[in-house]
Amino acid sequence: MLAADRRPADSETAWKTRFFWLLLGVVVVRGLFLVFFVESTDLAGDEAYYWDWGRRPDWGYYSKPPMIGWLNALAGWLSGNSEWGPRIGALLLGTLSLVVAWLFARALFGLRTAFWAALLVLCTPANGALSLFFTIDAPLVLLWTLGLWLFWRAAEVPQSWGRWILLGLVLGLGVLSKQMMLVFPVLMLLWAALSPADRGLLRRPGLWLAVLIEFVFLIPVLLWNARHQWITVQHTAHHFDDNSHSLGDYVVTFLQFPGLQAAVYSPVTWALIV
């Protein structure tokens, strides 16, 4: 009887241990590869562009919100403005994204599935790239994944103000990383509206507080833009310009999308998701 009672706990410990060794291996291998990568590869164009932002910390920049500039300022200060700063920053954020993905999968499906989910994330080209190149997507992916996990936790205990506030803070940091984070509250509200079991969340003030907190973080960025001819807004608007594409162009773009997704996630992972 005692042996049977211990089995679930032993199994959980085993899967936690497996993830610990997986994570340790990831850090060691990526760290060793980083030595070669820094010595043989210059900063990519986008990386150098964002690194220059770090020399002038501000509340906004031409094309993106300020988070990557702030992170580069911190990385430059810690590394003496060497290439090691951005590279280590990318390694840390990419690896933390892996940890948060494991936490989210554990909350949804348990430790066994969480381990395999983390392994799948690790095998994606996207996670590898985020761990090498210090661009806006490194903090965005980390904060988006963290937002998913925190939203799930808040939905589990909707009366907890603390969970909603923490979610709002993460979403706020996310919107300081990339404009795409503005889509998150829209998807969050759509999920609550379309899920009959969770529609009651729309009547929870905590949910709306989280959305409000995110938009409060946007205020200094908007004020900066107002003082700079709304330059970031103008840049973002160009993505929605109507260039009068033909129907064939739209069909090609539509067909390219799953191909790009397969490249980002790896064909095997993409096939499993589909």
Domain identity same for 34 and 86: yes
Q: Could you give phi then psi for residue 246, rounded to 5 degrees?
A: -80, 165
Is the residue at 110 inside a domain? yes
What is the spatial distance between Cα 115 and Cα 17, in angstroms, rounded to a whole number? 10
pLDDT of 218 strictly over 70 = yes
Is the residue at 53 inside a domain? yes
pLDDT of 5 strictly over 70 = no
Domain identity same for 207 and 261: no
In this prediction, residue 104 carries a pLDDT of: 97
Is the residue at 1 inside a domain? no
pLDDT digits (tens, 9 = 90+) for 159-200: 999 999 999 999 999 999 999 999 999 999 999 999 999 999
Maximum distance among all Cα pairs of the chain, rounded to whole angstroms = 73
Is the residue at 4 inside a domain? no
Domain identity same for 88 and 152: no
Tell me, what DSSP letter sits at residue 201?
A: G
Domain identity same for 127 and 29: yes
pLDDT of 240 strictly over 70 = no
Domain identity same for 130 and 185: no
Find the mean pLDDT for residues 90-100. 95
Enter the pTM of the model. Answer: 0.90
Give the total number of structural domains in the chain. Answer: 3
Is the residue at 237 inside a domain? no
Q: How far is C-alpha 43 from the geometric centre of its chain's CA atoms?
A: 21
Confidence of residue 3 (pLDDT cuts 50, 70, 90): very low
Is the residue at 241 inside a domain? no
Domain identity same for 131 and 146: no
pLDDT digits (tens, 9 = 90+) for 39-55: 888 899 999 999 999 99
What range does the domain containing 207 cover?
Answer: 142-228
Domain identity same for 63 and 131: yes
145 membership: H or E segment, kind and range? helix 137-156
In this prediction, residue 2 carries a pLDDT of: 42
Domain identity same for 28 and 119: yes
Is the residue at 233 inside a domain? no
In this prediction, residue 179 carries a pLDDT of: 93
Domain identity same for 50 and 22: yes
In this prediction, residue 101 carries a pLDDT of: 96
Residue that is last in its domain, among 96, 118, 135: 135
